[in-house]
Amino acid sequence: MNKLAVVILNWNGKDLLEKFLPSVVANSKQEWAEIVIADNASTDDSIAFLHKYYPNIQIISLDKNYGFAEGYNRALSQLNHCYFVLLNSDVEVSENWLEPIYYLFEKDNTIAAAQPKIKSYHEKNKFEYAGAAGGFLDYLGYPFCRGRILDQIEEDHGQYNTREDIFWASGAALFIRSNIYNEVGGLDADFFAHMEEIDMCWRIKNRGFRIVIEPKSNVFHVGGASLPKQSSRKLFLNFRNSLIMLHKNLNSNSFYKIMLTRMILDGMAAFKFLLSGEVSYFIAVLKAHQSYYKMLGTLRRKRKMLKQHLFFQAHKEMYSKSIIADYYIRKKRSFSQLKF
């Protein structure tokens, strides 16, 4: 039995499969690795393309588009590998990208999840927004990375070439033990897409497991293939899902204070969009909060289920300051300038 499954979720992504699957096939030829395509009921020629050019690749066909989170949940439930790699369809992988993390998992069972160094496909000397050299979270729930603070993306000069514990691993190339994925309940389907991997990583850390960045493994990510970076739909998902994540995972000591602070900051952001003439973004933030309020009953039940695992002290990989204040007021533009 193959111990590791590289699982690519596809929805009408025939062009991406045609462009990026060859690198995955060429660089994943290990006796312990298998490539699997999970298809979210595509209506393009994805499946025909795979049958013609990659007849030996396993295809899991889902009956409709379940989005990123539930699509993966349904696909992974059909696999029995020891380790999963959730790999975006717009990622080019490098030679020996699997080995460093696979062998790390084999020798250290305290590590539940990991990510490679994620660099930009279009500017290969730079980190990529979605993960860079490992993800972190500030105390208000704003994510950032080694190599990316908000929209400020660093060039890779080897400054983050050390293996480090991180708060979250990017869903663009997420390595995870299958038993841990199942133990924490996988990705939360209510997120649909965006930030669901951060929520899952938070639940993993609340159970005492480690998440690491292994820079010996490198991939190159296009980014924005499912939704454009400036999409109002993506903005809606990010604002709403951030609130969902905080509601589920914050400890009781800080819950009300942080949620109130986020409500105020989100309101300020919404009116900034309005004053700038970006009405669609203003509406997206309002709809995000409206959607969050409608989910409060469900979130209370989820929080109650997770309560026994909530940490009452912040994880050391959670930034105790505000990354927003550091960026805009203190003018800190790189991860190395931050003091944890």
Higher pLDDT pick, 1 / 47 = 47
Instruction: Answer yes or no: do 21 and 144 share one domain.
Output: yes
pLDDT band of 11, cuts 50, 70, 90: very high
Residue 77 lies in a domain: yes
Instruction: Answer yes or no: do 78 and 147 share one domain.
Output: yes
Instruction: Answer yes or no: do 250 and 205 share one domain.
Output: no
User: Where a domain ends, among 169, 186, 221?
Assistant: 221
Q: Phi and psi at residue 63, in whole multiples of 5°?
A: -85, -10
Report whether pLDDT(41) > 60. yes
The predicted structure's pLDDT at residue 224: 58
For the chain, the first-to-last Cα distance in angstroms comes to 43
The predicted structure's pLDDT at residue 227: 47
User: Where a domain ends, among 174, 195, 221?
Assistant: 221
Instruction: Answer yes or no: do 134 and 243 share one domain.
Output: no
The CA-atom distances, in angstroms, between 15 and each of 35, 82, 121, 292 are 18, 30, 16, 35
The structure tokens 């190395």 sit at 336
Instruction: Answer yes or no: do 199 and 292 share one domain.
Output: no
User: Where a domain ends, among 197, 221, 245?
Assistant: 221
Instruction: Answer yes or no: do 29 and 132 share one domain.
Output: yes
Instruction: Answer yes or no: do 119 and 259 share one domain.
Output: no
pLDDT band of 200, cuts 50, 70, 90: very high
Report whether pLDDT(203) > 80. yes
**Domain of residue 149, residue span:** 4-221
Comparing CA positions, the residue from 36, 24, 21 lying closest to residue 79 is 36
The predicted structure's pLDDT at residue 52: 97
Give the pLDDT mean for 189-206: 94
Give the pLDDT mean for 148-156: 95
- Considering its fold, how many domains does the chain have in total? 2
Residue 190 lies in a domain: yes
Residue 226 lies in a domain: no
The predicted structure's pLDDT at residue 219: 98
Residue 153 lies in a domain: yes
Residue 184 lies in a domain: yes
Residue 227 lies in a domain: no
Contacts of 174 (CB under 8 A, 6+ apart): 84, 85, 86, 87, 113, 115, 197
pLDDT band of 193, cuts 50, 70, 90: confident
CATH number of 139's domain = 3.90.550.10
pLDDT band of 307, cuts 50, 70, 90: confident
Instruction: Answer yes or no: do 121 and 11 share one domain.
Output: yes
Instruction: Answer yes or no: do 171 and 243 share one domain.
Output: no
Predicted model pTM: 0.94
Instruction: Answer yes or no: do 188 and 258 share one domain.
Output: no
Amino acid symbol at 126: K
Instruction: Answer yes or no: do 28 and 156 share one domain.
Output: yes
Give the pLDDT mean for 145-168: 96
